[in-house]
Amino acid sequence: MLQIYNTLTKEKAPFKPLEEGKINMYVCGITVYDFCHIGHARVMVSFDVITRYLRARGWDVTYIRNITDVDDKIIKRAAENGERPDQLTERMIAAMHEDEDKLSVLRPDQEPRATGHIQDIIDMVQVLINKGYAYAAANGDVYYRVEKFANYGQLTNKNIDELRSGARVEVQNSKESPLDFVLWKAAKAGEVSWESPWGAGRPGWHIECSAMSKCCLGNTFDIHGGGPDLPFPHHENEIAQSEAANGVKYVNTWMHAGAVRVNAEKMSKSLGNFFTIRDVLQKYDAEVVRYFLSSVHYRSYIDYSESSLKEARSALERFYQALNGVDAIAADLDNDYDARFYDAMDDDFNTPKALAVLFELVNELNSASRAGDDKAPALAAQLKRLAGIIGLLQQSPEAFLQGETKAGEITPEQIEQLIQQRADAKKAKDFAAADQIREDLIAQGIILKDSREGTTWFREG
């Protein structure tokens, strides 16, 4: 049975959906004011793997991931660039989709944007005002009364008294309490805005997800996911808004991906260790990055480093070398790899344990290939099928092993010419020249593999 760790209950438990066989899942997406970074990639890949696995196991999954396309950062960045906010967000959304496609991240079933749900947001804010959970302040903003919601802090074990004592009292404060958070922001001169019962303005960040998830999935749904920085205050505030407005439990299971550290330090621009997905993909094959992000359990932090990426490349090389030269043909096999893979993934999507099962399968495939065992094609097909559930091994072995030619590297055409020259030298019994060509290629990261069918090559990771 599938077991999932629930951030709300702080324990792993058997997963039971609201509707038999169907899972509704909402994941907080990206505020699109800049290119996506490697931390975003962690969340993207983690929930892509989760969705792929649930579907592979026969669940009917509706996966929603929103886009925040109106926000203080967006307005500020657009002004700095001398462009309209919608021009900035359209560019960044297109770039996000390019990054996702390279990482083999499947698109969600729906990708609602905050600006497409303004009326839904206004309607929810009005409900909260009518119920006494929100109030319009003198400055034109609308705030949520945190202390009126009895269960505030349930997700992150926050105590209202402790929050109150630690809250910063703002200058020119229009709030009834420093704990209260904004639902609707009054427009400033020149800012993008929409008309509302409280004047021109735009939504606060937290209310966007409450309104969009309700529109897409209803008042209560199965899984809500997001990144490591979201439980407080964002998800805590979502619970308070949604449960106060709708009068029912908001979400049954909360899931959060772990943080990305860089050489054991928190990733931040101020430390100079901040990497966009595009930065990383200029250096490493996208599948290597995906493997790296999947090699650590989704809830654990992951350390981004040169050595970690090289290890990921080496691991994938082992997989692809095992598949190289084997025609994958599906057939029934009497082994337990499927069962053990599924057991690992049923244990809160334990990808490291699942990958360990695949390495055992690789070892058996290599043994079968060396022995000329007719099970090899079926083992190769099994390996590709199970790895595909994690979004891996979907390239041809040759494409992965030879890789893309980066600036300054020897080209495939030059390599093939040298392979031919080596073959000619061997034919002429000039073995010294043939060996020198091999050594020259090794120096450039090109490994040759001779067989009865000829010589193939791959780039060393």
Specify the 3-state DSSP secondary structure of 155: coil
**H or E element, residue 377:** helix 376-389
Residue 234 annotated as binding site: yes
- HSE, CB side, 13 Å, CA atoms: give it for residue 253: 20
Q: Is 183 exposed, middle or buried (0-12, 13-18, 19+ CB in 10 A)?
A: buried
CA angle 83, 88, 104 (to 5 degrees): 160
The three-class DSSP label of residue 409 is: coil
> What's phi and psi for 224, nearest 5 deg?
-125, 125
Q: In what order do the strands lie in the sheet with 22-31?
A: 60-68, 22-31, 221-226, 251-256
d(C-alpha 303, C-alpha 319), whole Å = 23
Q: Are strands 251-256 and 221-226 parallel, antiparallel or unpaired?
A: parallel
The Cα 129–Cα 32 span in angstroms is 30
Distances in Å between the Cα of 19 and the Cα atoms of 16, 23, 225, 286, 368 are 8, 7, 19, 36, 44
CB 250 within 8 A of CB 151: no
In sequence order, what DSSP letters do the residues of 83-131 get, joined into one string?
A: S-HHHHHHHHHHHHHHHHHHTTPPPPSB--BGGGGHHHHHHHHHHHHHT
The 3-state DSSP class for residue 218 equals coil
Question: Annotation-wise, does 28 bind a ligand?
Answer: yes
Determine whether the annotation assigns residue 224 to a binding site: no
Residue 238, annotated as binding a ligand? yes
- Residue 174, helix vs strand vs coil: coil
Query: Which CA distances in Å does 15 have to 18, 22, 56?
Result: 10, 12, 16
Which residue ranges make up the annotated binding site for Zn(2+)?
Answer: 28, 209, 234, 238
Which residue ranges make up the annotated binding site for ATP?
Answer: 269
Which residue ranges make up the annotated binding site?
Answer: 28, 209, 234, 238, 269
